[in-house]
């Protein structure tokens, strides 16, 4: 991707015998395809090389922390068994009684939501906002619905218990706050580039015999060609999963996520919410004449057809309704919600997940799949396999780079980069629209654009230094 390149005549000298690395580099497949492919492949190879070397550490960290995150459902059941699990016996207390017990346990808290026990052996969760906690964090009280006893309180991040919240923050920010979000966004912004580029290079590589088998299955070999085969075949098999992780990771990133949100809103594909403003004014001094309470709101939700785990949010101010929402994030999703008038228990608004815009549904499914929630244990196993394979591919990539290093003479001891100046061979009818497309992507994905500019600048500097030494 060098912008300028000079050819300098150098007096011929004695040619030393080729080393193992030289023979392996020379043995790489040549670009024998059509004219466009002959000109495009070297440029794509150089980009793939630069991205792999420079972005590889970020991908490696994201894969390692993501692998740790896949264990959270089982980890929570072990660490918080006392708070999460109860022994069913007798009849359950009303949710209002359980709420009063939780409120006594968190006297400084402001009620945010209530999650009644979803199973016979589950506890009721009551979430409070408490002054002094970091943004996004709550105090959650756990109550045994049968005995009415407080099981304990934990600092949570929304639905996430402390262990999941800690691992989630590690994966997204490395516990470095907003600055740390740049690392995961950088990895997500370039993962799709590396995957698509690698797919084109691997599928388009010339093969003399058994083309399909050599494309799909790695071949044995101790040299660099064997490493390349494992790297390419493994990437081919997991490419769809990696592209999905890249796309869904970008949806809640700091910079690209904001751009994606604007595009979704422009296409009317944002996630809707049920209307909570009551269609009629409240009585007298601004307070309703009566309140059906949390149990009345749950009953209204059940009569409206809501099932499974529920989350009940109390009215935020006079003139607004209870919100009763399904909280089932496995397949099929349960995300229906209703607004309930606190005075009458009448459902004033309804929102079904089936009525969500397609983009909103895809976003919800993608995020839940990324978090290992959509398909339960199978989803967790698939994510763990993807993480392990990505780790292996990054390490294989660095091994290939190491095998390209010079093994004799002076000069840098790092692996050789593919040839420079390949962009000049591209026809203008390809280079011009490609440049426009890259600029548009760079605008919407800043952590794709800025590193790309840095790669180009670094390549120009390295090229200038190399030409200066040659002269």
pLDDT in tens, 199-250: 999 988 877 667 788 888 888 776 778 899 999 999 999 999 999 999 999 9
Q: In the beta sheet, which residues pair with residue 301?
A: none
CB atoms within 10 A of CB 257: 16
What whole-number distance in Å separates Cα of residue 156 and Cα of residue 128?
10
Kindly report, residue by residue over 63-120, the tens digit of the pLDDT: 999 999 999 999 999 999 999 999 998 999 999 999 999 999 999 999 999 999 999 9
- Give the tens place of pLDDT for each residue, 286-339: 555 689 999 999 999 999 999 989 999 999 999 999 999 999 999 999 999 999
Of 301, 324, 355, which one is at a domain's C-terminal end? 355
Q: Dihedral through CA 102, CA 103, CA 108, CA 114, nearest 10?
A: 70
Q: How many domains does the chain have?
A: 2
Residue 132 lies inside a defined structural domain of this protein: yes
Domain membership of residue 104 (yes or no) is yes
DSSP 8-state symbol, 30:
P
Name the phi and psi angles at 325, rounded to 5. -130, 140
391 domain-assigned: no
Closest CA to 188 of 136, 135, 137, 259: 259
Confidence at residue 16, expressed as pLDDT on a 0 to 100 scale: 45
Q: How far apart are CA 298 and CA 304, in angstroms?
A: 10
Chosen domain end from 310, 337, 355: 355
Q: What is the DSSP letter of 103?
A: H
| Number of residues in the chain | 471
Q: Which of the listed residues 160, 190, 214 is the one where a domain comes to its end?
A: 160
Q: What is the pLDDT of residue 341?
A: 97
Nearest-10 crossing angle of helices 177-204, 255-266: 80
**pLDDT at position 393, please?**
96
Q: What beta strand segments (E) does 274-373 contain? A: 310-313, 322-326, 337-340, 347-351
Q: Is residue 236 part of a domain?
A: no
Q: Is residue 363 part of a domain?
A: no
User: Model confidence at 4, in pLDDT bands (50, 70, 90)?
Assistant: very low
* CA-based nearest residue to 225, from 382, 438, 23: 23
Instruction: Let me know if residue 327 belongs to a domain.
Output: yes
Q: Would residue 328 count as lying in a domain?
A: yes
| DSSP reduced 3-state for 19 | coil
pLDDT tens by residue, 160-182: 999 999 999 999 999 999 999 99
**pTM attached to this predicted model:** 0.86
Residues 340-399 have pLDDT tens digits of: 999 999 999 999 999 999 999 999 999 999 999 999 999 999 999 999 999 999 999 999
pLDDT given for residue 275 in this prediction: 96
Residue-number span of the structural domain to which 102 is assigned: 81-160
Contact 64, 187 (CB under 8 A): no
**79 and 167 Cβ atoms separated by less than 8 Å:** no
**What pLDDT is attached to residue 39?**
75
Report d(CA 354, CA 294) in Å as an integer. Answer: 26
Residue percentage of the chain with pLDDT more than 90: 68
- Assess contact for 319 and 301: CB atoms under 8 A: no
* Residue 322 vs residue 432, higher pLDDT: 322
Under 8 Å between Cβ of 33 and 27: no
Residues 390 and 438: their CA atoms lie apart, in Å, by: 25
**Residue 190 belongs to some domain of the structure:** no
Q: In this predicted structure, what is the pLDDT of residue 437?
A: 93
156, containing H or E segment: strand 150-156
């Amino acid at each position: 991707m060098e912008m300028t390149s000079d050819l300098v005549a150098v007096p011929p000298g004695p040619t030393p015998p080729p080393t193992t690395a030289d023979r392996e580099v020379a043995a790489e497949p040549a670009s024998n395809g059509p004219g466009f492919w002959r000109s495009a492949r070297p440029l794509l190879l150089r980009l793939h090389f630069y991205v792999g070397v420079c972005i590889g550490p970020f991908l490696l960290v994201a894969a390692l922390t993501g692998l740790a995150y896949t264990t959270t459902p089982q980890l929570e059941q072990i660490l918080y068994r006392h708070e999460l699990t109860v022994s069913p016996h007798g009849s359950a207390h009303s949710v209002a009684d359980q709420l009063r017990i939780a409120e006594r346990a968190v006297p400084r808290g402001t009620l945010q939501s209530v999650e009644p026990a979803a199973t016979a052996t589950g506890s009721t969760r009551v979430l409070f906002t408490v002054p002094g906690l970091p943004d996004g964090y709550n105090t959650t009280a756990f109550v045994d619905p049968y005995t009415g006893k407080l099981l304990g309180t934990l600092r949570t991040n929304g639905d996430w218990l402390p262990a999941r919240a800690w691992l989630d923050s590690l994966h997204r920010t490395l516990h470095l706050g907003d600055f740390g979000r740049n690392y995961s966004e950088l990895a997500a912004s370039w993962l799709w580039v590396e995957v698509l580029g690698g797919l084109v290079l691997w599928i388009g590589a010339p093969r003399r015999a058994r083309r399909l088998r050599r494309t799909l299955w790695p071949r044995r070999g101790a040299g660099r060609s064997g490493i390349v085969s494992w790297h390419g075949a493994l990437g081919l098999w997991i490419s769809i999963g990696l592209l999905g992780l890249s796309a869904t990771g970008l949806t809640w990133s700091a910079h690209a996520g904001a751009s994606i949100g604007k595009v979704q809103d422009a296409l009317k594909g944002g996630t809707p919410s049920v209307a909570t403003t009551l269609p009629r004014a409240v009585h007298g001094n601004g307070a309703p004449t009566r309140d059906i309470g949390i149990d009345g709101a749950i009953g209204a939700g059940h009569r409206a057809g809501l099932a499974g785990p529920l989350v009940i949010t109390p009215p935020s101010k006079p003139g607004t309704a209870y919100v009763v929402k399904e909280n089932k994030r496995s397949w099929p999703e349960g995300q229906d919600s209703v607004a309930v008038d606190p005075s009458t228990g009448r459902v004033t608004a309804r929102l079904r997940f089936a009525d969500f815009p397609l983009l909103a549904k895809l976003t919800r499914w993608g995020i839940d799949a990324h978090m290992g929630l959509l398909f339960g244990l199978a989803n967790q196993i698939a994510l763990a396999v993807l993480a392990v394979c990505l780790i292996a591919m990054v390490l294989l990539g660095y091994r290939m780079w190491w095998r390209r290093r010079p093994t004799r003479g002076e000069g840098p001891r790092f692996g050789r980069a593919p040839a420079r100046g390949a962009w000049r061979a591209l026809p203008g009818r390809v280079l011009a629209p490609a440049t426009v497309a890259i600029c548009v992507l760079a605008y919407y994905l800043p952590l794709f654009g800025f590193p790309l500019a840095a790669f180009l600048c670094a390549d120009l500097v390295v090229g200038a230094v190399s030409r200066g030494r040659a002269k």
